[in-house]
Structure 1
Amino acid sequence: MDQLSQHLVNALIMGGTYALLGIGLTLIFGIMRIVNFTHGELYALGAYMMYFFATVLGLNFFVAIAFAIVAGMAVGSAIEFTLLRPKRGADIDTTMLLMIGAWIVMQNAEHLIWGGIAKSIPSPLPEAPLVIGPVSISWLRVMVLIVSVVLIAGTYFLINRTKLGKAMRATFQDGGTAALMGVNVNAIYTTTFALGSGLGAAAGALLGPVFVVTPTMGDLASLKAFAIVILGGLGNITGAAIGGFMLAVAEEIGAGYISSGYRDAMGFLIIIIVLLFKPTGLFARSERIG
Structure 2
Amino acid sequence: MTQALQHLLNTLVLGGTYALLGIGLTLIFGIMNVVNFTHGALYTFGAYAAYLACAALGLDFFLALPVAILAGLALGALIELVLLRPLRGSDMDTTMLVMIGAGIILQSGTLWIFGGVAKAIPTPFPDAPLQIGPVSLSWLRVFVFAAALALIAVTYGLINGTRLGRAMRASFQDADTAALMGVNVGFIYTATFAIGSALAAAAGALLGPVYVVFPQMGDLAAVKAFAIVILGGLGSISGATIGGFILALAEEFGAGYVSSGYRDAMGFLIIIAVLLVKPTGLFARAERIG
TM-score category by the smaller chain? over 0.9
Query: 8 Å contact 2:39–2:197 — kept in the other structure?
Result: yes
Following superposition, the deviation at residue 58 of structure 1 comes to: 1.0
The 2-side partners of 1:69 and 1:211 are apart by 19
Partner of 1:220: 220
Partner of 2:97: 97
2:117 counterpart of 1:126? no
The 2-side partners of 1:164 and 1:234 are apart by 20
Partner of 1:83: 83
Pairing 1:134-213 to 2, within 5 Å after superposition: 134-213=134-213
The 1-side partners of 2:101 and 2:235 are apart by 24
Q: Which runs of 5+ in 1 are unaligned?
A: none
2:14 counterpart of 1:2? no
The 2-side partners of 1:172 and 1:127 are apart by 45
The one-letter code matched in structure 2 to 1:109 is G
Following superposition, the deviation at residue 57 of structure 1 comes to: 1.7
Partner of 1:273: 273
| Partner SS for 1:131 | strand
| Partner SS for 2:58 | coil
Partner of 1:253: 253
The count of residues paired between Structure 1 and Structure 2 equals 290
| Partner SS for 1:238 | helix
The 2-side partners of 1:142 and 1:162 are apart by 29
Q: Which runs of 5+ in 2 are unaligned?
A: none
Partner of 2:42: 42
The 2-side partners of 1:87 and 1:274 are apart by 35
The 2-side partners of 1:235 and 1:62 are apart by 31
TM-score by length of 2: 0.99
Any idea what the Cα deviations from partners look like across 1:117-168, whole Å, max 9, x if unmatched? 0001121111111001011000000000000000000000100011110000
Stretch deviating more after TM superposition (56-65 or 245-254): 56-65
The one-letter code matched in structure 1 to 2:146 is I
The 2-side partners of 1:222 and 1:18 are apart by 10
2:241 counterpart of 1:241? yes
Pairing 1:19-58 to 2, within 5 Å after superposition: 19-58=19-58
Following superposition, the deviation at residue 60 of structure 1 comes to: 1.5
Query: 8 Å contact 2:159–2:169 — kept in the other structure?
Result: yes
Following superposition, the deviation at residue 4 of structure 1 comes to: 0.3
The 1-side partners of 2:260 and 2:55 are apart by 30
The one-letter code matched in structure 1 to 2:62 is F
| Partner SS for 2:215 | coil
Following superposition, the deviation at residue 270 of structure 1 comes to: 1.2
Pairing 1:106-121 to 2, within 5 Å after superposition: 106-121=106-121
Query: 8 Å contact 2:61–2:122 — kept in the other structure?
Result: no
Following superposition, the deviation at residue 264 of structure 1 comes to: 0.2
Following superposition, the deviation at residue 273 of structure 1 comes to: 1.5
| Partner SS for 1:145 | helix
Query: 8 Å contact 2:60–2:123 — kept in the other structure?
Result: no
TM-score by length of 1: 0.99
Work out the percentage of aligned pairs sharing the same amino acid: 70
The 2-side partners of 1:211 and 1:55 are apart by 16
Partner of 2:68: 68
Following superposition, the deviation at residue 29 of structure 1 comes to: 0.6
Following superposition, the deviation at residue 192 of structure 1 comes to: 0.2
| Partner SS for 2:99 | helix
Following superposition, the deviation at residue 3 of structure 1 comes to: 0.7
Partner of 2:13: 13
The 2-side partners of 1:146 and 1:280 are apart by 30
The 2-side partners of 1:142 and 1:271 are apart by 27
Stretch deviating more after TM superposition (192-201 or 58-67): 58-67
Partner of 1:59: 59
The one-letter code matched in structure 2 to 1:231 is L
The 2-side partners of 1:70 and 1:78 are apart by 12
| Partner SS for 2:227 | helix
The 2-side partners of 1:280 and 1:246 are apart by 16
